Structure 1
């Protein structure tokens, strides 16, 4: 009973802070189905002229919010906080920062290993086998060990991609209508990007060759602002890789190492 009461309190607070009760005459119907790979498939027709968000929360976990694109939506939303019951709350903006609940769906995740959630394609790390970046990952990695795959893809990104200072300066303008999410193909072809671009590209390429990889956002002494990096599973443990930092060190002809100290990357906000 204590766990149930605590969860209900969290949901009630969520409604009071982020949402209002939505009149049933305006209720929407989205299809949210468990893909059993660490994601749910969201199918929804978003015809609203205002922002629509999907709030995702594991019982007792961190609350994640996703801006839902306009038009016909068919996307995979990640469940990256482990096994358990997740609540998916579809909300529509009604005024200012106030959102109204349109639909709530519960999904129970039960994976044989938490690492499975970090191998799939999803809304944040969107890729498939036809993607040019993924084809490059296949050619780089071959049939080598996981350590070889990580090393080859890491070196490719560090040595071939530069930091996009103009994009970093204008990111708030870029994300005015919706939260910025990197496009793997565009980032690959541009050969430059911000930290979020670096980490999503790395995750897509490594996942495509079977290496569990996380995109992690938060704070580190190696960056002056909100940052993104990767946690990569190798040698039976998670390891921190920061290609954004290392690419700049490479260009400055400074020493750097592929794996970072976890203690420098412990201030985590979100994990995808």
Structure 2
């Protein structure tokens, strides 16, 4: 409760929220939010003599394995890493292409390139039978199936999809955001300290980009390293950067798209998981062994606390 980031998150939910809009089938867009206030000054804290730095586990990567892929009609589908929580797809074709991941009644739809560039997508619905489809636009807004395949997925553990790079959370072992996360983590004693410090760093370093919010395309994808370099971004960028930095340190992190009340605004934020107990997020305390909610966009840009609530004003829709 006394962690540094708790002070920032006390300002988390604001009176004037500007939201993100999305097209049906999930092309996330952006909010217009208040300009960033000046970051709080934080005195440096000296580590105790018996301090043991946090040790991140081995880097969890993702990759497209063309030699193990299957397909036809210009499509290659890589199902070799489903146990690690992701699927890879590469497609070539005319016009716009989409990739669908279906499990039970849940469908995730992604824009993918038509030039053969591979995309990595998470299997966030967990264990079960999946159907994968590549859809090609035949007339404006109407798609026909180009390729379909099915697979039964058994994850190594339920956190796998939220520990690795993917289309919405792109990074590599040598990415600048990963190196920065490692530097930050080296000064912390445990995973909660890493979350605290990483979110604090993002809140102090990144401001909301209103101009980008006005002009961004619906096919926009975040680049955590670019967000880190420019110090600006939209909610999509904030959530992607936070997820990249925390995942790279072995902390399972979801990027969430959903709605925030009272204005039913579409928005992106994060949730992290740890078995360590105690932390405050969005002004409410959560039990240990649960996912905790984090909103770096509002935390960084909030100017008023008139909207502080118990977290029930957030409605999760999609997880990445």
TM-score, length basis structure 1 = 0.80
Cα drift, residue 85 of structure 1: 1.2
Match of 1:239 among 267, 292, 302: 292
Match of 2:317 among 226, 245, 269: 269
Matched, 1:215 2:255: yes
CA deviation map 1:43-68 (0-9, x unaligned)? 33x242x10111111123x2111111
Computed over aligned residues only, the root mean square deviation of the Cα atoms, in angstroms, reads 2.2
- Name the one with the larger helix percent: 1
1:50-69 aligned within 5 A: 50-60=95-105, 62-69=106-113
Cα drift, residue 222 of structure 1: 7.5
1:26-105 aligned within 5 A: 27-35=73-81, 36-44=83-91, 46-48=92-94, 50-60=95-105, 62-105=106-149
Partner Cα separation in structure 2 for residue 149 and residue 139 of structure 1: 10
Match of 2:265 among 219, 225, 232: 225
Q: Which secondary structure does the structure 2 equivalent of 1:180 belong to?
A: coil
1:1-272 aligned within 5 A: 27-35=73-81, 36-44=83-91, 46-48=92-94, 50-60=95-105, 62-142=106-186, 144-171=189-216, 174-175=217-218, 179-221=219-261, 225-234=265-274, 235=276, 236-249=289-302, 252=303, 261-265=310-314, 267-272=315-320
Contact 1:222–1:245 at 8 Å: present in 2 too? no
C-alpha spacing 1:255/1:269, structure 2 compared with 1 (3 Å): closer
Partner Cα separation in structure 2 for residue 146 and residue 156 of structure 1: 15
Structure with bigger RCO (C-alpha 8 Å, 6+ apart): 2
Q: Which secondary structure does the structure 2 equivalent of 1:133 belong to?
A: helix
Cα drift, residue 255 of structure 1: 6.1
C-alpha spacing 1:78/1:223, structure 2 compared with 1 (3 Å): farther
- Name the one with the larger strand percent: 1
Flag structure 2 segments of 5+ consecutive residues without an equivalent.
1-24, 26-71, 277-288
Cα drift, residue 113 of structure 1: 2.2
TM-score, length basis structure 2 = 0.68
Partner Cα separation in structure 1 for residue 309 and residue 160 of structure 2: 23
Structure 1 outlier segments of 4+, above 6 Å: none
Partner Cα separation in structure 2 for residue 167 and residue 241 of structure 1: 23
Cα drift, residue 264 of structure 1: 2.2
Flag structure 1 segments of 5+ consecutive residues without an equivalent.
1-17, 19-25
The number of equivalent residue pairs is 234
Contact 1:92–1:99 at 8 Å: present in 2 too? yes
Contact 1:239–1:260 at 8 Å: present in 2 too? no
Contact 1:239–1:262 at 8 Å: present in 2 too? no
C-alpha spacing 1:183/1:260, structure 2 compared with 1 (3 Å): farther
